[in-house]
Amino acid sequence: MVEFKVLEQNHPRVDGLDKVTGRATYAADVYLPGMAWCKLATSTRSHARIVSIDTTRARDLPGVYAVLSGSDFPDIHFGSGGLKDRYVMARDEVYYVGEPVAAVAAVDEMTAQEAVDLIEVQYEDLPVVVDVLDALREGSSAVHPDLPDFEGFGFALGGENVCTLLDADRGDVDAAFQQADLVIEDTFRSQGINQGFLEPMACVASVEANGRLTVWASTQGPYQVRAQLASVLDMALSNIRVIPMELGGGFGAKLRLAFEAFPALLSMKTGRPVKLVNTREEVFTLNGPRLPVANYIRSGVMNDGTIIAREAFSVFDVGAYLGAGPNSGVGHGLGAYNVPNFRLRSYGVYTNKVYVGSYRASGVADMTFAVESHTDNIAHKLGMDPVEFRRINCLREGDTAVNGSAMPRNGLQECLDALKDRLDLPKKLGQRRGVGVALCEWRSGSGPSTASISVNEDGTVSLLTGSVDISGSDTSLAAIAAETLGLPMERVIVAKRDTDLAPFTGPSGGSRIVYSQGTAVQRAAEDTRDKLLAIAADRFGVPADALSCEDGAVFVQDNPPQKLTISQLASMSLSSRGGPIIGTASLSTMPFTPVYSAHGAEVLVDEDTGQVRVTRYVQAQDVGTAINPMAVEGQLDGGAVQGIGRALTEDMLFDSETGAVRNPSFATYLMPLAVDLPDIENVLVRVPAEDGPFGARAVAEPPGFGAPAAIANAVYDAVGVRINEMPLSAERVLAALQGQPAPEIPMDVNALKEAEGLTA
Amino acid sequence: MVEFKVLEQNHPRVDGLDKVTGRATYAADVYLPGMAWCKLATSTRSHARIVSIDTTRARDLPGVYAVLSGSDFPDIHFGSGGLKDRYVMARDEVYYVGEPVAAVAAVDEMTAQEAVDLIEVQYEDLPVVVDVLDALREGSSAVHPDLPDFEGFGFALGGENVCTLLDADRGDVDAAFQQADLVIEDTFRSQGINQGFLEPMACVASVEANGRLTVWASTQGPYQVRAQLASVLDMALSNIRVIPMELGGGFGAKLRLAFEAFPALLSMKTGRPVKLVNTREEVFTLNGPRLPVANYIRSGVMNDGTIIAREAFSVFDVGAYLGAGPNSGVGHGLGAYNVPNFRLRSYGVYTNKVYVGSYRASGVADMTFAVESHTDNIAHKLGMDPVEFRRINCLREGDTAVNGSAMPRNGLQECLDALKDRLDLPKKLGQRRGVGVALCEWRSGSGPSTASISVNEDGTVSLLTGSVDISGSDTSLAAIAAETLGLPMERVIVAKRDTDLAPFTGPSGGSRIVYSQGTAVQRAAEDTRDKLLAIAADRFGVPADALSCEDGAVFVQDNPPQKLTISQLASMSLSSRGGPIIGTASLSTMPFTPVYSAHGAEVLVDEDTGQVRVTRYVQAQDVGTAINPMAVEGQLDGGAVQGIGRALTEDMLFDSETGAVRNPSFATYLMPLAVDLPDIENVLVRVPAEDGPFGARAVAEPPGFGAPAAIANAVYDAVGVRINEMPLSAERVLAALQGQPAPEIPMDVNALKEAEGLTA
């Protein structure tokens, strides 16, 4: 193994002290002179035409500076995934309960709220559809009857509410199913999930005299917010500056424009800075959560355990607007397995609910629950050990991945081995105890990444990136720069950023920061190092490749005492021909580098109540190289906890008549507490990536995928019942234990196939 | 002349609207939660030992958070010009009236002031010297008896108070004087000058939980403040972040550390942000003004008008600490002339007055007054026209400049011609009216300069530099970037900066921004353009040099319709191999590029009162290329106004016993008002520089140099009296008109020569 000086060692977060002492500045901490507060009036109807909005009384309330409604915004549609299906604020119709219809700016928060309560909206109700499988059905009422006219709408399959379809096909699927010794099909359903970040979204917008807009935002994607704001406000991109503040959790929920346009337009109308901070209720009802998903999976298997065919039809509820949509869902219908013939479909379907957002690899946790529960079902049908069945079908180096790439070297088998070792599998626990496993797969995230490093005159360096810190990513980037430059961590300053200052960078999400942004940092540090070496080479009269850069100094390899410290070189640079040193790097895409992990859960099922308790949780993940092991383990712990919450208790409840969120608070939306959780045991597997910085792979997403299936498989192992619907609540498990049939998941796959002209 | 698209056209300042509408944020506008106010206790003695400082009553005052005095700071000397002659706060002794001895942080400004008034300091008086020529004399009391022990003290010539000596010699001066047909000597004296910036210095310092210090400062040199703060607080450079706020005038006064260390240490002691804003009185007594200068000049001249020898001995009062010292003074003893033999000396001499600071090329205005008054005296003695006498002796291309460089092509003669034309010289006005001229010389400022340009996805660009905007320099830098990239001005965003974000850059001063920093911006823009061209070349399948970049697009030279807009290329870059585009450039020094101007004043002298009225003022300056003519003229106007103030009314009065400033307010320190001034007529001469961006030369300093001599020469022309001492106040002119002898300037040049072992 390579000898690292900085990497593979634990470093506290560079922003840690500030955060634990409450000194870090979040968007809600921004106070500007003359600042107004914004509050939102929201729809009380699920689907309705807006007959009128009377803001007279609100405007007349003393202390109110301005009131705006949808028609105050430019008549511009926007949307995600290329489909422009929404206005930034409801204009003629509302499509879900909680949709913003008006915004107030007032002298303080209470006055703003009082004004909101004085706004009178007249609605004319329209047909409502809440359940995604209802909405998929032919003849369902259409959420957006004008869908075919939306810019970016690109196909005409399925029912009135299907707004997007992702597909992937390979081989002759129907023939393979004919050939299979055994065909197994399952249908699964997973629930709506709130991302549960600690910091409600917040934003302050302030317009300058010259019309330029500054937005202090709680966002993972400042450049994305800038671009979308420019679009919906019909402004030049260069007239908007987004300053991303400290992020109190995002998990994908803060990747896109949320409500920043409301305070922005209010600031333009009033000439004042305007602040908007979500209540926790708004976090649940305004900012796209994940919505229910239905998954049909069918596999054709040979008696030797080889999977030869796979069909997966996934129906993603996207709520009122496409939002984050199925996103990365379709390819994951194969899981971590090498399947030669497949037909994969992911449908995005409108309903009258809050629009869907992103959450730690949108959709993949739902797919993993389905695929890995199904995988256990096949193993059991074949009478094979679930771990050995997985091993047989695992993707191996050189196999063709679902995206068509050749599989590079990876640590999937090593993860499976590590999990098996740690849990001492196979084993039978008995006494209502069981063990279950699940494999998780993701790819190291890519996308535009830039970094710039400047050398201060004392030999410390300032690192400027456009990426927002997420889960300690700044610390990891600092470690990569420090390792490359042969400097200790404390000599790397990670600068706070804003869109005016840092070059365009993709958002902090999708496990792209360390792998892709980290590569940009490594290359910028190499560029910086080359410039330091050039000064030393000039001074020593030797070629640059005769020099090494280590331990804060550059020295002649053949004569190490001949050296200059980086401080000396930095100071020399100020009067050198090349001037003060800046190193930069920029890239757009990185090679396909998969990430695998194996999760294992042990559970104890209370047969009287149905309550499932996770007594042990192990995950082995191939991280390539652990840039900062402490941060890697933090990601693994956090993901497992989120997965356990998703498996057992978290459940957004939607009113079946109105689609309104029925439990928009942490008192009723049950995230796991420390007392509900086992210690999370992490095993870091290290099969270096060919392309990541120092061999590092992405880490962040997979830890959240495995728990639902691992726990469901463990429950089956413990008490012999198969739960196909998340969460595995006590009620649901108890009903199954009592022999009650599980509620039907009315997904008509044949209708979907027929619409596509496939053999039913 | 080159066809420019952006340059040579008038552009309003990019920060203009914000400034005129009061939206721009200055350091005094920074308010942070929990912020404390700082006030300073200052010395009432001119030179004394501090026996004791009793802060008990101040500390006990409710609302007071902390009180500190000199011994609370690390025992570290610092200073400018390499001489470490001072503590950041008086420790054992005070050296001038007004020197800070203690600082208070309290809940509000009034409480802080009340606490300051409760601090009791016991002093033991020590000998005082106020006048710089007294201080120079052998046997004078020493301001700093321990001067020889100061780090950086490098010579032993002259009296006890001489702390620095600059010299320049060429040829055999004594022999040349022997050979001369005529030898003329003069002695001049100029007064103390306050820079008169509108915005009093201000600063907020805030320490983070991890000990890192952020300083919002009113400064021209954020990196210089960072380095000096790190030094006096004994902190790592990387633990300090300086955010330079909008600058309400600096003129050199804000180049260095002022009092930022006081709120910084108070913030560390209290854990609160701490703000300090100078009163106008403190602006006069705490922040180094320019102090009196005495100049002896002697020239040896041939009957044909050629100057063959020059001696210039300049004595600069530096007050209690070297501060900015004589700075750029010594070489300017030659003026704009080619003199083959010279001996130039500049002495920096301590007195018990506020330490000296910088002001629009420290010392050069004083030298120009002396040299250009003396030049007229010689012309008159030779019976030659002053303009023609100047023309004979002007430095020409290929001559050796005082610094030993060969003179590059320049517009000195062109300036003289332009002035002569505009004023229709020679002419005799009569009736107590006169005309006078003066030549000014400076060099385009150099020093470490860096720039970074990132291309946004819509084709606008963000320009990041470490230089603070001064007099519209941001607008000029934006224009250089726009011209290079073929973009309109409004597509260039000039980012606000701080030391964490931008690479090390020299301070905004000494006429270095457009010439040197502008070159870095031009090169960074070229780097950016090359990367845009590379994407287009790749797309079109042609070599990059077959492309041109103009009017927001890149096109094939042989087939202009084949083009891609910069917006399209920017958007393509996000998925290009090279990723998002960043262009950078860095340099340390720029070639020697002189700047010349010719000033002419017409005056009317009131023989009854002695009052001098400037009735016309013309300056012709070689600007090379006018990046933004509106800004260039602004610089020329402003400089001329400052020069006229210096010539006629501005005069810092120091108590002759204590050295205390006697007129520390704008009511008593008389800066010229609009009603006192003529229109300033500017002629822009354009002899492109070989190395500046698009041929531009520096502009800023020379406009301030010419007025005193031009006006003194005009007064001589009008009424036949030669005033050797600034300002040319009504009292002084009237006394001369009444035949009273001018007060002696008791400068003993022989003693200075003897000390150096030169022939007396």
Q: What is the 3-state secondary structure (H, E, C) of B625-670?
A: CCCCHHHHHHHHHHHHHHHHHHHHCCCECECCCCCCECCCCCCCCC
Chain B residues within an 8 Å CB radius of A238: 456, 458, 460, 462, 490-491, 493
pLDDT of residue A393: 98
Interface test with A, best of B458, B574, B589 (most A CBs within 10 A): B574
B573–A588: do the CB atoms touch at under 8 Å? yes
- From chain A, the residues in CB contact with B493 under 8 A are 238, 241, 500
Q: A591 in contact with B at a CB cutoff of 8 Å? A: no
Q: Do B575 and A589 count as a contact with CB atoms less than 8 A apart?
A: yes
If one counts the domains in chain B, the total is: 3
Mean pLDDT within B384-400: 97
What would the two tokens of residue A126 be?
């329209």
Range of the domain at A492: 446-587
Question: How many angstroms separate the CA of residue A191 from the nearest CA in chain B?
Answer: 35
Per-residue pLDDT at B327: 65
- Asked if the C-beta of A31 comes within 8 angstroms of chain B's C-beta atoms, the answer is yes
Which of A553, A587, A621 represents a domain boundary (last residue)?
A587
Q: What is the pLDDT of residues A421-465, one digit of tens each?
A: 999 999 999 899 999 999 999 999 999 999 999 999 999 999 999
Q: Name residues 198-217 of chain B within 8 A of A (Cβ).
A: 208-210
Is beta strand B240-244 parallel, antiparallel or unpaired with respect to B213-217? parallel
CA–CA min distance A622, chain B (Å): 28
Enumerate the residues of chain A whose CB falls inside 8 A of the CB of residue B567.
Answer: none
Same domain, A50 and A72: yes
**Does residue A181 sit within a domain?**
no
A224 touches chain B (CB under 8 A): no
Give chain A's mean pLDDT.
94
Q: Chain A contact for B117, CB < 8 A? A: no
Mean pLDDT of B595-615: 97
Could you tell me if residue A747 is inside a domain?
no
pLDDT band at A45 (very low <50, low <70, confident <90, very high): very high
Is B235 in CB contact (< 8 Å) with chain A?
Answer: no
At A138 the pLDDT is 85
Within-domain flag for B180:
no
Average pLDDT of the residues in A732-748: 95
pLDDT band at B158 (very low <50, low <70, confident <90, very high): low
Question: Of A611, A601, A603, whose CA–CA distance to A735 is shortest?
Answer: A611
Question: Do residue B317 and residue B439 come from a single domain?
Answer: yes
Residue showing tokens 């962040």? A700
pLDDT tens-digit readout, B360-378: 998 999 999 999 999 999 9
Query: Are B450 and A493 inside 8 Å of each other by CB?
Result: no
Per CB-CB distance under 8 Å, the chain B contacts of A493 are 238, 241, 500
Q: What is the pLDDT of residue A148?
A: 87
* A207 vs B contacts (CB less than 8 Å): none
Tens digit of each residue's pLDDT (9 = 90 or more) over A597-607:
999 999 999 99
- Share of residues in chain A with pLDDT > 70 (%): 98
**Closest CA in chain B for residue A493:** B238
Report the C-alpha gap between A349 and A320 in whole angstroms: 9
Q: Does B495 touch chain A (CB under 8 A)?
A: yes
Closest CB from B237, B464, B577 relative to A458? B237
Ordered strands of the A274-277 beta sheet: A64-69, A100-106, A36-42, A274-277, A202-207, A213-217, A240-244
Closest CA to A485 of A535, A517, A526: A526
What percent of chain B is predicted at pLDDT more than 90? 88
What pTM did the predictor assign? 0.91
Q: Check CB contact under 8 Å for B493 and A238.
A: yes
Q: CA–CA separation, B522 vs B451, rounded Å?
A: 9
Instruction: Select the residue of A23, A448, A579 nearest B587 (Cβ to Cβ).
Output: A579
Task: Tell me if A61 is assigned to some domain.
Answer: yes
Whole-number pLDDT of residue A157: 57
- Residue of A32, A238, A516 to mutate when probing chain B, most B C-beta within 10 A: A238
Same-domain pairing of B571 and B561: yes
Smallest CA–CA distance from A33 into chain B, residue: B31
To the nearest whole angstrom, how far is the Cα of B185 from the nearest Cα of chain A? 40
User: Which residues does chain B have within 8 Å of residue A33's beta carbon, measured at their own beta carbons?
Assistant: 29, 31
Which whole number is the average pLDDT over B403-431? 96
Q: How far is CA A393 from CA A261, A308, A309, A336, A376, in A?
A: 49, 10, 12, 8, 13
CB A511 within 8 A of CB A228: no
Residue that terminates a domain, selected from B552, B587, B622:
B587
Q: Does the CB of A449 have a partner CB in chain B at under 8 Å?
A: yes
With b for 16 or more beta-carbon neighbours within 10 A and e for fewer, the B284-308 pattern comes to bbbbbbbbbbbbbbbbbbeeebbbb
Q: Say if B669 falls within a structural domain.
A: yes
B237 touches A at CB < 8 Å: yes
Residues 502-521 of A with CB under 8 A from B: 502-505, 520
B579 at the A interface (CB within 8 A)?
A: yes
How far apart are the C-alpha atoms of B112 and B103, rounded to whole Å?
9
Domain CATH number, residue B606: 3.30.365.10
Candidate from B20, B238, B504 with C-beta closest to A574: B504
Is the alpha carbon torsion for B88, B89, B95, B97 positive or negative? positive
Which residues in chain A have Cβ-Cβ distances shorter than 8 Å to B18? 208-210
Distance, CA of A333 to CA of A254 (rounded, Å): 26
**Interface contact A571, partner B, CB < 8 A:** no
Average pLDDT, integer, range A529-546: 96
Q: For position A510, what pLDDT does the model report?
A: 87
Q: Do B575 and A584 touch (CB under 8 A)?
A: no
Distance in Å, alpha carbon of A621 to nearest chain B alpha carbon: 30
Taking only the tens place, the pLDDT of each residue in A282-333 is 999 998 999 999 999 999 999 999 999 999 999 999 999 998 877 666 789 9
Q: Are residues B331 and B394 in the same domain?
A: yes
Residues A501-511 have a mean pLDDT of: 88
A457:B504 CB<8 A: yes
In this predicted structure, what is the pLDDT of residue A729? 97
Residue B456 with chain A: CB contacts under 8 Å: 237-238, 499, 504
> What is the per-residue pLDDT for A327?
65
* Whether the predicted pLDDT of B513 surpasses 80: yes
Mean pLDDT highest for which of A56-70, B201-215, B565-579?
A56-70
Q: Are residues B79 and B218 in the same domain?
A: yes
**ipTM of model:** 0.86
B152: left (phi over 0), alpha (psi -120 to 50) or beta: left
List the helix and strand counts (H, then E) for chain B: 18, 26
Asked if A456 and B587 come within 8 Å (Cβ–Cβ), the reply is: no
Same domain? For A454 and A581 the reply is: yes
- Same domain for B605 and B723, yes or no, is yes
Q: Is residue B522 part of a domain?
A: yes
Contact B574 A584 (CB under 8 A): no
Residue A500: per-residue pLDDT = 87
Least CB-CB distance to B580: which of A504, A575, A580?
Answer: A504
Strand order through the sheet with A461-465? A492-494, A461-465, A449-455, A582-587
What is the average per-residue pLDDT within A578-590? 94
Residues A435 and A511 placed together within one structural domain of the fold: no
CB-CB: which of B16, B209, B452 is closest to A452?
Answer: B452
For the record, the structure tokens of B497 come out as 């900066």
Res. B63 pLDDT band, cuts 50 70 90: very high
pLDDT of A344-377, one tens digit each?
999 999 999 999 999 998 899 999 999 999 999 9
A-chain CB neighbours of B17 within 8 Å are 208-210
The mean pLDDT value for A43-53 works out to 98
Residue B502 confidence (pLDDT): 83
CB contact under 8 A, A578 and B586: yes
Considering the domain architecture, whether residues B89 and B228 belong to the same structural domain is answered as yes
User: CB-CB: which of A21, A208, A495 is closest to B500?
Assistant: A495
Q: Does A458 touch chain B (CB under 8 A)?
A: yes
Q: Which of B20, B223, B495 sits opposite A501 (nearest CB)?
A: B495
B436-462 average pLDDT score: 94
Q: Cβ separation of B588 and A581 shorter than 8 Å?
A: no
pLDDT at A18: 86
Task: Assess if residue A280 is contained within a domain.
Answer: yes
Residue-wise pLDDT tens digits, A629-676: 999 999 999 999 999 999 999 999 999 999 999 999 999 999 999 999
Three-state secondary structure call for residue A495:
coil
SS3 assignment, position B674: helix
Kindly state whether residues A114 and A216 are assigned to the same domain.
yes
What phi and psi values does residue B686 have, to the nearest 5 degrees?
Answer: -125, 90
User: What tens digit of pLDDT does each residue of B465-497 get?
Assistant: 989 999 899 999 999 999 999 999 999 999 888
Minimal CA separation from B207 to chain A, in Å: 10
pLDDT, residue B153, reads: 85
% of chain A beyond a pLDDT of 90: 88
Contact A574 B238 (CB under 8 A): no
Pair (A237, A120) in one structural domain:
yes
Q: Which amino acid is at B2?
A: V
B163 in a structural domain: no
**Orientation angle between helical segments A707-719 and A629-648, nearest 10 degrees:** 50
Domain with B260 in it: what CATH number? 3.90.1170.50
pLDDT of B510 reads 87
Mean pLDDT (chain B) is: 94
Residue A1 pLDDT > 60:
no
Q: Is A584 close to B500, i.e. CB distance below 8 A?
A: no
List C-alpha distances in Å: B553 to B145, B539, B637. Answer: 67, 14, 38
Q: Are A97 and A243 within one domain?
A: yes
Q: Is the pLDDT assigned to residue A406 strictly greater than 90?
A: yes
